[in-house]
Amino acid sequence: MRSMLIGMKISMNLPEEEVAFVDRQVRAGHYRSRSAAMSAALKLWRKSELESGYVEAFENIDPIWDRSIADGLVESENEGS
């Protein structure tokens, strides 16, 4: 029975040192294959891009918006009693 390939097969040209690094990671048992190693690297890259996007978005928060959404949410000293 033939197994189904999940995903898309691509071809890459990499410098020899990069291929050697991937192969060492596979031989060390960190990944099952070159494909698994490259997939893990791409996932880390994607995560890094997402984190950068969140940092940028957080840095661009408008202080007026913060005041607007907090308006009326502060309890007075007598309300809690």
pLDDT tens for the chain, 81 residues: list them: 455 557 889 999 999 999 999 999 999 999 999 999 999 999 999 998 887 777 777 777 776 666 666 666 665 555 555
- Indicate the pTM of the whole model: 0.58
Distance between CA 56 and CA 40 in Å, rounded?
A: 24
Q: What is the pLDDT of residue 71?
A: 64
| Burial class, 66, CB count within 10 angstroms (exposed 0-12 / middle 13-18 / buried 19+) | exposed
DSSP assignment of 12-25: ----HHHHHHHHHH
Q: What DSSP state is assigned to residue 33? A: S
Spell out a b/e string for 33-44, using b for 16 or more CB atoms within 10 Å of the CB, else e.
Answer: eeeebbeeeeee
**Would you state the pLDDT for residue 18?**
97
Tell me what pLDDT residue 48 has: 86
